Amino acid sequence: MKIVTEASELVLGCAFVPTMGALHSGHQSLFKIGASHNENVLASIFVNPLQFESSEDLAKYPRTPEKDIEMARAAGVTHLWFPRYEELYPEGFHKLSAGPLGDIYEGASRPGHFDGVVTVVSRLFELAQPQCAIFGEKDFQQLALIKKIKSDVEIIAAPTIRESDGLALSSRNVRLDPAGRKAATVISRALFAASQETTLESARTLMLQILSEEATFTCDYAEIIDENEFTSATESTSHARAIIAGWLNGIRLIDNMAMKLGARS
């Protein structure tokens, strides 16, 4: 595996997985998907300051570069890129707007977050010129926005990877203490329970009921949406998805799951 610090050293036309580091097995699953599409797998590690609402949250983001290098190598990454801020954001660069989709749900709670996301991904695409890029469904709204970026890059969606107890893998999980780690499973429990319901009303009711039972979790939003339009789902919605976000001991957690309402006999 080659460590890259300058964009001029990149192999163009690769399979690309942008990350902010603190790698885990969820990232490794993305790297392996990349390897199934291209012999060259590029991963980038860049903690993007443009997508954090505060310098405090940016400072708290976990950084594990030595572990990241080993995990990337073990999962088949051929080129690991540590972009420099000055190369990504040269003097006079313009920050992009995520548009209306960037202002709802996660965007409403984190103003400007998705502007930072689409800006950094656009710049990474410009420099790396990949053939395809792989993003996880756990950050579903982010995935939807990246699909709207005007580029020739094929966007591949990868399923959410979960712990044995259902918790979605996230770099932020390492900040949870044991009690918080246990409490965090309320999100996936609510999603799995809702996914077993046959009507939209019963799925919403059960999801909210389960979330309310965990006193340490402060729910920001919990909704079932049309995953194509990001509007509230109705009984006629073909592709419904439950999305949940909230805070647990000061740590923001998000998750989502497709809902197959009415699909059972």
Active site residues: 27
Query: What DSSP string runs through 92-132?
Result: T-------GGGGSTHHHHSTTHHHHHHHHHHHHHHHH--SE
Cα–Cα distance for residue pair 49/93, rounded to 1 Å? 14
Beta pairing class for 251-259 and 2-4: unpaired
φ/ψ of 224, rounded to 5, equals -110, 120
Nearest to 75 by CA among 152, 157, 161, 144: 161
Cα–Cα distance for residue pair 80/238, rounded to 1 Å? 39
